[in-house]
Amino acid sequence: MNKSNKPWRSKRLELLGSSIFSEVAAWKHAAISEGIDVIDLGIGSPDQPPSERVRHVLADAALRSDSYAYPAIKSGQPFRESAAAWMLHRFGVKADSASEITPLLGSQDGLAHLALALCDEGDVVLLPNPGYPIYAASLALAGIQPVLMPLREEKGYMPDLEAIPEESWQKAKFILLNYPNNPLSAVADLSFFESLLEKARQYQVLVVHDLAYSEMGFDGCEPPSILQVSGAFEQAVEFHSLSKSFNMAGCRIGFMVGNRKAVGAMRELKANIDYGIFEPVQEAGIAALEEAMNDARYARAGELYERRRDRFVEALRGEGWQVELPRATMFLWAKLPTMTWDRGMPWTSRLISQEMLKETGVAVVPGEAFGSEGEGYVRIALVESEERLLEAAARIGRFIRGETMIG
């Protein structure tokens, strides 16, 4: 074979599918190139910066001449200790910083590598459908088979644990869930986690809980940690992220906490992949966690998104799109509206997302990006100012009614 014909591309990449976020970015760039004012409600990236104190800590640390060694040399122990203190402050959960917490380059970093650290050939993993794309992508890269659990509106977007075949429970290495949920915005309570852990114990399945949106509960809701359940450290791990809760998405910092064997496996794998988190970012992370614990003026991220949610949902309903009020996260999970016009083609979540962006400049993510159960929905991120959200609602209303769009 001529060497020039070799693919130079892993077949594993074909299992990932195309990144919908890259597709939406391409649609967005096309709209911008045509002079459309784009209101980007697609990617869930906070539009606010970290606090001034956190920014100063990061800047001062970055200016120090001793900040540029490999971070692994310093082991990340101060950040782990702060993470442990925050878990105790926020959830009443006692975690050993040395053996039950490991820092991550954002929680997605840990989720992407979890199957590589924990699974062997022949294992299966129980995943939610819809689910955040990295869940399935990480299994594809590790060569692990998923068993999908449908999350449906009529069941409050909770998995039916009894409907999972016993054979799947027996083969499963871990079950992964995410509450508050991205993209569904559903919230779980401690009684659900108790039932989940009890079921998992029967089959010695590790429970993996992605709690990236712990600080984004609305209407008095304070999302719990699965580790609050008695005995959870024997059977569970949890991922936390500073990206959304502390507006540090670009810093790439988070942590995994829980069962020490699973945490140790992740730490061992990561020690062979990277040298840890840039030291100034760790110091900024410590400052953010300390601020949340000690500053009486500290306001959780959820307060901002709750105000935006209230204004935006009211505006959308006024335009004829009956959207449910989410109890948490920075997202709306919106069932496709009834269109008053017909283009001779079925309205899929992908098509309506494309057309909405093309004709109104409002970018959202099609529900099918999160799995087959996401068809019929779109995810809308509350990552613009209230003024821009109200403008987006007005544009969407004209789109739904088939009125003249913006140029």
User: Is residue 342 very low, low, confident or very high in pLDDT (cuts 50, 70, 90)?
Assistant: low
Looking at every residue in the chain, the average pLDDT score rounds to 93
Confidence of residue 280 (pLDDT cuts 50, 70, 90): very high
E strand map for 223-310:
236-241, 254-258
Q: Which residues of 284-301 are buried (b: 16+ CB within 10 A; e: fewer)?
A: bbbbbbbbbeeeeeeebb
pLDDT at 104 over 70: yes
Q: Could you read off the pLDDT of 146-186 as tens digits, one per residue?
A: 999 999 999 999 999 999 999 999 999 999 999 999 999 99
DSSP-derived pairing of the beta strands 254-258 and 236-241: antiparallel
Site of tokens 């409050």 = 156
Work out the average pLDDT over 191-214.
Answer: 98
Distances (CA, A) of 78 to 75, 97, 280: 8, 9, 12
Q: Name the residue with tokens 């122990």.
A: 77
**Burial of residue 228, with CB atoms counted within 10 A of its CB: 0-12 exposed, 13-18 middle, 19 or more buried:** middle
C-alpha to C-alpha distances, 172 to 230, 234, 346, nearest whole angstrom: 23, 17, 38
* 93 vs 86: CA distance, rounded Å: 9
Answer whether CATH 3.90.1150.10 is correct for domain 11-48+300-401.
Answer: yes
Predicted pLDDT at 186: 97
pTM of whole model > 0.75? Answer: yes
Give the model's pLDDT for residue 406.
55
- Residue pair 207/118 in contact (Cβ under 8 Å)? The answer is no
Percentage of the chain modeled with pLDDT above 70 = 95
| pLDDT value at residue 345 | 67
Question: Model confidence over 297-316: pLDDT tens digits?
Answer: 888 899 999 999 999 999 99
DSSP 283-294: HHHHHHHHHHHH
Percent of the chain clearing pLDDT 90 (strictly above): 84
Instruction: Kindly indicate the confidence band of residue 407, based on its pLDDT and cuts at 50, 70 and 90.
Output: very low
Strand partners of residue 208? 176, 237
Provide the sign of the torsion angle of the four alpha carbons 84, 88, 91, 96, taken in this order. Answer: positive
In this prediction, residues 375-395 reach a mean pLDDT of: 97
Estimate to the nearest angstrom the gap between the alpha carbon of 153 and the chain centroid.
19
- Taking the domains of the chain in order of start, what are their residue ranges? 11-48+300-401, 52-294
- Domain 52-294 fold is Aspartate Aminotransferase; domain 2 (3.40.640)
